[in-house]
Structure 1
Amino acid sequence: MQSLLTLGLMEAVMERPVPENVMIMQGQSGELLMTNDGLDETIQDWINAMQHRGQDELQTLRERIDLNLTRAQALLLAHFKAGFRVFDPLGDDVPSLVCFIGIVCESLTQARMAFPSNQPHLGLSWWMVLPKSYQELIRREMTEDGWCPSMVEYLINLGSTSVLEYACKAGPVEGGYSHEACSPVSCAAYNVDPENYIPKHTHSCMQKNIFSSGDENDCGYCAAPLDQVKSLILSGEKPVLTLCEVTGHRLPVLELHKASDFPYVAISHVWADGLGSTTEKGLPACQLRRLASLVSEESQAREQAIAMMARIYQDAAAVLVLDSGLQICRSDQHLGTKLLRTLTCGWMRRLWTLQEAALSKELHLVLADGQCPLKALIPHGSLYFQRPLLDLAAELFRLTKWSTYGSYSLGDVARALTWRNTSKRSDETLAVAGLLDVKPSILTAMRPEERIMRLMQVMGRVPRNVLFLHGKKLQLHGFSWAPTSFMAAHGGAAQGPLLSTSDTDAVVTPRGLAATYFALVLPRKMPKKGLNAWRLRDTKTGKLYLVAETESDKTEPNACDLLLTPNDASLGSVVSCVGALITGHVAEPACEESNSPYTVFCRFRRRLLLHCVTAFTNDSEVDEVETPVSGKLSVCVG
């Protein structure tokens, strides 16, 4: 079986013999070992050999490739359901073999993109090679190696065995931050206490361990003229600093200008690296010779400065990224290494840096030996088909969407924020408003807990699958469907469905979220007791369902009499489901955009999973409910 799903699968897809030494090597003791060292080269040689064929021939080849990979997927899924017992004779090597098979499947799946297809996109996923028991082994190994637990969860959630293998081999950045206080959903290493924060001196500064700014130091603190900074900000101008060395003075002078007078470069960094400051306190002169930081502490000016943040980075000629982890990476290292270090650096984990990066015209990473444009890290040409480059680059590509396409969706924001964090939770909506074409000033006047509600109201339309996101929900009238945060560290979803990046098929109304879902109306409130799974028989269609709570919803059971899913579940599928409680109905549309003359009003109660099955097993302890009412329904979830 292992040969069938490795060498056998490669030969079936490539339609030519594959030498055993591509995947088998001899160990030091003479034993035979599986290896993927020759995998990429073999696949690339095959792609190159196929390029001379005609378009029609390549399309039929692509169809055969898809068929073989679909069969492999079905076979792996069957073995997954059986606990991969077919490989039991291998003992402790079973997880390694299954992951190896996953790498082969992922490599061939990516390689098939080199050939044209006139068929609808076939989504192939190999999640089954990473069952929970294997994930736990990976967690243990990576955290023991020094990886942040939340970064491990992020990499696992990418769903790419190739990425995990690459990260395990590369290891975390040496000499990085301690992650002892971090959790699977939150990295605490980059959080700072603004009240007791002390900027760091540069490594080359002889006074890097002296933090006072007295005259006895060779390197003192320099600050911009506060009153002038506040005046510019309050007048709507972006303040820009130039550093001037003055003859006879050991400290430089900061000169203030209006950004409208000339092009400027903005700096994007994380405070934990020691580069943070306020206008009042300034920075060590050694740091100011590299950068300037301008955020006022005075309340009114701070709100105005926050409102300007999007414009500051959007209007900059370029944005330089300074991160301690990136600055030990060299430009001549392998593309995969540079991608991994960028994806896992502290700068990618912070809230405000998302906007700073996404809105920039040109984003440059400062490496150990120079600057590297972010776009240079996006795989192209033959690199596009090499594992795990595309999986590593996916989130970096999201950072280029604004500069490339001029837009950023709520789904993009939600996905980008999942594994980011901030020391000030109330800043979440302020930090992304500019990406969503919402004025931050609209949000600063709101109470922090109401800002995400206001953001949704101003946007007006959102993806309807926002209803199915895991994580905490708002406890506000008309917004029981809305998440309290998109950041897992602050109650957002770390797992489960991802918010759509293309749809805006739900309308935010004063009474709730108006959208159309597939609905199953229950004859009575369920569940009656506990959190046990229960059965549902749809007498209208004859379909049978098992209903159970999700792992992320372990709260006390909330009774519901309406089940909502994105679409009708097909036989054998497991779909996200929301249990709601009907509060009323009217013979009118929920909003102007609705085509339905009838609307059911309801309130979000709990998350569920709906499994469409062929038959029920005999279990008298499980409740069974019959419903004669199902189909598409216009609802308003309040």
Structure 2
Amino acid sequence: MPQATSGSLHAPVVTTSLSGRALLVRDRQKNYIKYETRIRTCLATLAFFFKRHVSFFGRMKSLGLVRPEIGLSFGILGNALDAATFKLVVEPWPTGSGWIVNAWPTTDSLRGHLRANGRYARAVARLEDSCKLDTLYFLPLLRQPITGVDHSACNSEQCNAENIDEATYESSHIARFCTCKHINVDNETVVSTLRKGEIPVILLYPSFSNTVSPLTVSQAYEDTEYVAISHVWQDKMGNTRFNSLPYCVLKHLRTLVERRVQRSCKVSV
């Protein structure tokens, strides 16, 4: 059967070269499998020796063979090669054998690096659960916000600074020596709304002073717009005894809400 010529739209198409191309694809596949096997072996060997330095809890055991930073560099290199191999070899040319990513545990030297950067023990443990080794290594390059929270009594299992002791909890003011009074919510209205099976929302008006309460309670409807503010307890902007907050705290929360919603009307908080 004649070959199709260039520029010919109706000439028959032949398959005489198909077998040769099929063999070429087969050989390429074999080469990829061969290279993948070699890479697997190298990475598995590197992971084996790297984990020899790390206990089951991820603690670097000093065997006197290499310095901690050198051992860490092995782990980061292996982690990067694992990810690159999966993207460049396994995904384009799947062999069906399955790709098992090696484990590259965190070392003591890296934990110390993260702690020196301002991250407390429990935060480091959470990062270990969610981030890979190379990500953990570069995290200290990001600026860590200063919160002023004391984490000296915390450990990798629990953050005691995030717990609240209702017996000793005191609402903080925005300024250190501020003594402004508390603004209360009408508890009877809140309770009666809840007893009706309804959801109460607290309305905070745009302009208010510390002499007149700016807070009113209303029933929430399907189209009621509101802003929910979380984590105020941890920042000591809550109150464990009464439905009240210092005037300066309300004003601060109002400013935060206005920055988000950019409205001049009253907003539910």
- Whether TM exceeds 0.5 here: the answer is yes
User: CA shift at 1:161, angstroms?
Assistant: 0.7
Check if 1:139 corresponds to 2:111: yes
Question: Aligned in 2, Cα 1:71/1:193: closer, same or farther, shift over 3 Å?
Answer: same
Check the 8 A contact 2:184/2:213 in 1, yes or no.
no
Query: Matches of residues 463-482 of structure 1 in structure 2 within 5 Å?
Result: none
Q: SS state of the match for residue 237, structure 1?
A: coil
Query: Matches of residues 502-513 of structure 1 in structure 2 within 5 Å?
Result: none
Tell me how many residue pairs correspond in the alignment: 221
Check the 8 A contact 2:204/2:216 in 1, yes or no.
yes
Letter in 2 for 1:135: T
Letter in 2 for 1:196: T
Letter in 1 for 2:102: W
Amino-acid identity (%): 23
Q: Distance in 2 between matches of 1:100 and 1:246?
A: 55
Letter in 2 for 1:209: F
Check if 1:257 corresponds to 2:214: no
- Deviation by residue 1:462-499 (Cα, 9 ceiling, x = unmatched): xxxxxxxxxxxxxxxxxxxxxxxxxxxxxxxxxxxxxx
Task: Tell me which residue corresponds to 1:26.
Answer: none
Question: Aligned in 2, Cα 1:233/1:92: closer, same or farther, shift over 3 Å?
Answer: closer
Question: Aligned in 2, Cα 1:99/1:270: closer, same or farther, shift over 3 Å?
Answer: farther
Given candidates 273, 282, 287, the residue that maps to 2:235 is 273
Question: Aligned in 2, Cα 1:226/1:66: closer, same or farther, shift over 3 Å?
Answer: farther
> Which has the bigger relative contact order, CA under 8 A and spacing at least 6?
2
Task: Tell me which residue corresponds to 1:406.
Answer: none
Given candidates 166, 176, 189, the residue that maps to 1:194 is 166
Q: RMSD of aligned C-alpha atoms?
A: 4.1
Question: Aligned in 2, Cα 1:226/1:95: closer, same or farther, shift over 3 Å?
Answer: same
Query: Matches of residues 510-549 of structure 1 in structure 2 within 5 Å?
Result: none
Q: Distance in 1 between matches of 2:208 and 2:164?
A: 37
User: CA shift at 1:181, angstroms?
Assistant: 0.4
Question: Aligned in 2, Cα 1:291/1:89: closer, same or farther, shift over 3 Å?
Answer: closer
- Between Structure 1 and Structure 2, which shows a larger proportion of strand residues? 1
Query: Matches of residues 147-226 of structure 1 in structure 2 within 5 Å?
Result: 147-158=119-130, 160-170=132-142, 172-202=144-174, 207-211=175-179, 219-226=180-187
Check the 8 A contact 1:105/1:126 in 2, yes or no.
no
Check the 8 A contact 2:181/2:210 in 1, yes or no.
no
Question: Aligned in 2, Cα 1:82/1:184: closer, same or farther, shift over 3 Å?
Answer: closer
- Deviation by residue 1:320-364 (Cα, 9 ceiling, x = unmatched): xx9xxxxxxxxxxxxxxxxxxxxxxxxxxxxxxxxxxxxxxxxxx
Task: Tell me which residue corresponds to 2:40.
Answer: 70
Query: Matches of residues 21-40 of structure 1 in structure 2 within 5 Å?
Result: none
Q: SS state of the match for residue 267, structure 1?
A: coil
Task: Tell me which residue corresponds to 1:492.
Answer: none
Q: Distance in 2 between matches of 1:117 and 1:270?
A: 51
Question: Aligned in 2, Cα 1:91/1:188: closer, same or farther, shift over 3 Å?
Answer: closer
Letter in 1 for 2:78: G
Question: Aligned in 2, Cα 1:109/1:154: closer, same or farther, shift over 3 Å?
Answer: farther
Letter in 1 for 2:244: G
User: CA shift at 1:156, angstroms?
Assistant: 2.7
Question: Aligned in 2, Cα 1:289/1:137: closer, same or farther, shift over 3 Å?
Answer: same
Check the 8 A contact 2:86/2:99 in 1, yes or no.
no
Question: Aligned in 2, Cα 1:238/1:278: closer, same or farther, shift over 3 Å?
Answer: farther
The answer to which of 246-255 and 161-170 deviates more is 246-255
Letter in 1 for 2:115: T
Q: Distance in 2 between matches of 1:250 and 1:68?
A: 77
Instruction: Point out where structure 2 has 5 or more consecutive residues left out of the alignment.
Output: 1-24, 55-63, 261-269
Task: Tell me which residue corresponds to 1:14.
Answer: none
Question: Aligned in 2, Cα 1:280/1:125: closer, same or farther, shift over 3 Å?
Answer: same
Check the 8 A contact 2:47/2:78 in 1, yes or no.
no
Q: Distance in 1 between matches of 2:147 and 2:207?
A: 37
Task: Tell me which residue corresponds to 2:70.
Answer: 94
Q: Distance in 2 between matches of 1:242 and 1:281?
A: 14
- Deviation by residue 1:138-159 (Cα, 9 ceiling, x = unmatched): 3334334432112222223346
User: CA shift at 1:166, angstroms?
Assistant: 1.9
Check the 8 A contact 2:36/2:89 in 1, yes or no.
no
Q: Distance in 2 between matches of 1:80 and 1:247?
A: 63
User: CA shift at 1:107, angstroms?
Assistant: 4.3
Task: Tell me which residue corresponds to 2:4.
Answer: none
Instruction: Point out where structure 1 has 5 or more consecutive residues left out of the alignment.
Output: 1-55, 212-218, 293-321, 323-365, 372-638
Question: Aligned in 2, Cα 1:247/1:162: closer, same or farther, shift over 3 Å?
Answer: closer
Question: Aligned in 2, Cα 1:210/1:183: closer, same or farther, shift over 3 Å?
Answer: same
- Deviation by residue 1:425-477 (Cα, 9 ceiling, x = unmatched): xxxxxxxxxxxxxxxxxxxxxxxxxxxxxxxxxxxxxxxxxxxxxxxxxxxxx
Q: Distance in 2 between matches of 1:105 and 1:114?
A: 12
Q: Distance in 2 between matches of 1:150 and 1:241?
A: 35
Q: Distance in 2 between matches of 1:259 and 1:113?
A: 56
Q: Distance in 2 between matches of 1:157 and 1:285?
A: 41
- Deviation by residue 1:390-440 (Cα, 9 ceiling, x = unmatched): xxxxxxxxxxxxxxxxxxxxxxxxxxxxxxxxxxxxxxxxxxxxxxxxxxx
Given candidates 243, 247, 259, the residue that maps to 2:204 is 243
User: CA shift at 1:243, angstroms?
Assistant: 0.9
Check the 8 A contact 2:150/2:161 in 1, yes or no.
yes
Letter in 2 for 1:280: F
Given candidates 247, 250, 265, the residue that maps to 1:285 is 247
